[in-house]
Chains A and B, each alone.
Chain A
Amino acid sequence: MTPTIEAAGLRKRFGKTVALDGLDLHAEPGQVLAVLGPNGAGKTTFVRMVATLLRPDAGELRVAGHDVRREPGAVRRVIGLAGQSAAVEPAMTGRENLYLVARLFGQDARSARASSARVLELLGLADVADRLARTYSGGMRRKLDLGASLVGAPRLLLLDEPTTGLDPRSRIELWDAIGALVAGGTDVLLTTQYLDEADHLASQIVIIDHGRVVAAGTPGELKGRAGRNVIEVHTRDRADLARAAAGLAALDHDRPQIEEATRRVRVSVEAGSDRLRDALGALDAAGVAVDDISLRPPTLDEVFLALTGQGIDQPAPAGQPAA
């Protein structure tokens, strides 16, 4: 089968900033591929290239077998793009927005009406379909934007940081909507800064930094290599830090890390909430007074640290081309 996306040696620079520095990537049909990376890693540049909005300086990029430079029209027929900003017309209703995009995809009036209604239903926007989009909440707008990328029934859906800036509830709702699409067989290329988002939605994850791939694999593989959960303990007294670390060391084979300044001890553990119970027991036995203890997934920074041996560089200062 033709790969959904084939990228080889992609390069792009904006003035002095190198956004993509020889990116190689391969996505098979039936996959949800998450491109994970910090701000300025080159995620948006890559998505904009796949969407034919930017031309590569060098390298090869094929989408569903079509070269983005030579056959951009053919690429546009198979993709649907939802960007970071909700690109919907505030002075039109949800239904009118979707109808417009459906018509632009070449649907006749009847199919455009039908597919708009279906997408509104799917995204749970049927109730507000006839309200102007400017009255929508941020989460509703983002869903409508997602809807606009769907209404043409694309083979490949491009989602550029779809949940950035959303409140947790809207985020979960959008995840559910994306999950439903994936179940329906749409291929997805998704960019995100959040490991949990990639974990939740994707079947394949590619981690990029400075415009290059630093790691790739299934969420399970990557987590096996790096993404173990973290127990973080906040002690009441600074003097207890060493004893807490000693107690936690017995839990797992990972060596606890002490952060003096914030009175924190951190240790990565195999998944499971029983680990938290063990940790509490160990701390209790060591006589450590605990202010706060939490079990959480690793942050992107911790994944980077584990996979590359170094943390994320400072994000690019604002004002540089978004990547």
Chain B
Amino acid sequence: MATVPVSVRRSAGLPASTLGIARRGLLKYLRTPQLVVLGTIQGALFLLIFRYVFGGAIGAGGLDYVDFLVPGFITTGILFSGMGAAAGIADDLQQGFVDRLRSLPIPRSAVLAGRALADTAVLVWGLLITAAIGFAVGFRIHGSAAGALAAFGLLVVFGFAFEWLFLSLGLVAGTPQAAQGLALLVFPLTFVSSAYVPVATMPGWLQGFAEHQPITVMVDAVRVLTQGPAAEVLLGHDAGWYVVRSLAWSAAILAVFVPLAVARYRRG
């Protein structure tokens, strides 16, 4: 049986192997209904709780709380879906799927790049769902259409950057359970930020962290781009200020975690 077809090149290039692996990641997501349905329901539930249960008690300056909340909620949603990504790669490691891929004549970066691509696509899907629910509960765009599109583009960039952080976590953890545990690190990052409440309402010692961590800058970039001048007044800087800083954070995250993930993956 072992006749080699003539057209075999005996190895696939980086784009082809990345796409092949990404396709597998997407199929896995789409064909595991509990991932799709549970993720969506969970997101919707928390959004409703913040909007209707806590929302009444939280003041957001010149913005309606729903307009303040939804940009924060969408941005932090990236981190929550990242927890799944960390568990996913750890599971591949544990099940031996990564070993199979590492024994194949493909560029080693293709496995991680494919995974990152698929997970980012899943994340964008989640983003759109959350945004739709946001609109349903009263969120409106008060900035320009171009601003809203830019916000969407930024979110994809943030998602791709954080994906590498979660890939690193998953590879270091080694088992899905450990990966879930490590990924709990996202809680301080998401809650101690401007995502759900204005930073000014926190005690001083927390404000220092909250103001200078990446999530706050990213959330505020999305907020200013979707809410326009009212948000600029509330937050103190214009869109460009936030966009540049949030992109710098994304670049920094990529600069640290891409090499880290690749090195961890190579080591096996």
**Contact, CB under 8 Å: A91 / B17:** no
Closest beta carbon of chain B to A40's beta carbon, Å: 19
Q: Pick the contact of B268 from A53, A83, A184 — CB < 8 Å?
A: A53
**Contact, CB under 8 Å: A73 / B105:** yes
**What are the 6 tightest A-B residue pairs by CB atom distance, in nearest-first order?**
A87-B96, A111-B5, A106-B9, A85-B96, A81-B103, A76-B105
**Contact, CB under 8 Å: A118 / B8:** no
Residue of A nearest to B104 (CB): A104
B100 CB-CB contact with A under 8 Å:
yes
Docked Cα-Cα span, A118 to B3, in Å, equals 11
**Contact, CB under 8 Å: B100 / A91:** no
Q: Given A91-B28, A106-B9, verify A81-B100 contact (CB < 8 Å).
A: yes
B4 CB-CB contact with A under 8 Å:
yes
Q: Which of A95-103, A165-173, A203-211, A214-222 contacts B (4 or more CB under 8 A)?
A: A95-103
B32 CB-CB contact with A under 8 Å:
yes
**Contact, CB under 8 Å: B20 / A76:** no
Q: Give the bracket for the number of chain A residues in contact with chain B.
A: 35 or more
Q: Pick the contact of A106 from B10, B21, B97 — CB < 8 Å?
A: B10
Docked Cα-Cα span, A168 to B20, in Å, equals 36
A-B contact count (CB 8 A): 113
Q: Which of B84-105 contact A (CB under 8 A)?
A: 95-97, 99-105
**Contact, CB under 8 Å: B2 / A153:** yes
Q: Give the bracket for the number of chain B residues in contact with chain A.
A: 20 to 34
Contact with A along B1-45 (1 / 0, CB 8 A): 111110111111000110011011001100110000000000000
Contact with B along A8-49 (1 / 0, CB 8 A): 000000000000000000000000000000000000000010
Interface on A for B, CB 8 Å cutoff? 48, 51-54, 73, 76-77, 79-81, 83-89, 91-92, 96, 100-101, 103-108, 110-111, 114-115, 118-119, 122, 132, 148-150, 152-153, 158, 180-181, 184-186
Docked Cα-Cα span, A73 to B106, in Å, equals 8
Docked Cα-Cα span, A150 to B1, in Å, equals 10
Residue of B nearest to A115 (CB): B5
**Contact, CB under 8 Å: B3 / A153:** yes
Docked Cα-Cα span, A152 to B99, in Å, equals 16
**Contact, CB under 8 Å: B2 / A184:** yes
Interface on B for A, CB 8 Å cutoff? 1-5, 7-12, 16-17, 20-21, 23-24, 27-28, 31-32, 95-97, 99-106, 268
**Contact, CB under 8 Å: A79 / B24:** no
**Contact, CB under 8 Å: B100 / A105:** no
Q: List 27 A-B contacts (CB under 8 A).
A: A51-B99, A73-B105, A76-B11, A76-B103, A77-B10, A77-B11, A77-B105, A81-B103, A87-B95, A87-B99, A88-B97, A92-B27, A100-B21, A104-B101, A105-B10, A106-B11, A107-B5, A107-B8, A107-B9, A111-B7, A114-B5, A118-B1, A152-B104, A153-B3, A181-B2, A184-B1, A185-B2
Q: Pick the contact of A101 from B1, B3, B99, B100 — CB < 8 Å?
A: B100
List residues of chain A with CB within 8 A of the CB of B11.
Answer: 73, 76-77, 105-106
Docked Cα-Cα span, A184 to B31, in Å, equals 37
Docked Cα-Cα span, A158 to B106, in Å, equals 18
**Contact, CB under 8 Å: B2 / A106:** no
Docked Cα-Cα span, A52 to B105, in Å, equals 11
List residues of chain A with CB within 8 A of the CB of B100.
Answer: 81, 83, 87, 101, 148-149
Residue of A nearest to B5 (CB): A111
Closest beta carbon of chain B to A20's beta carbon, Å: 16
Q: Which of A91, A158, A180, A184 has the most CB of B within 10 A?
A: A91
Closest beta carbon of chain A to B104's beta carbon, Å: 5
**Contact, CB under 8 Å: A103 / B16:** yes
**Contact, CB under 8 Å: A89 / B2:** no
Q: Given A89-B97, A92-B27, verify A122-B105 contact (CB < 8 Å).
A: no
Docked Cα-Cα span, A107 to B105, in Å, equals 12
Residue of A nearest to B1 (CB): A184
Identify 10 new A-B residue pairs, CB closer than 8 A, beyond the known A96-B27, A111-B8: A77-B10, A87-B95, A103-B20, A105-B8, A105-B10, A114-B5, A148-B100, A153-B4, A153-B5, A181-B2
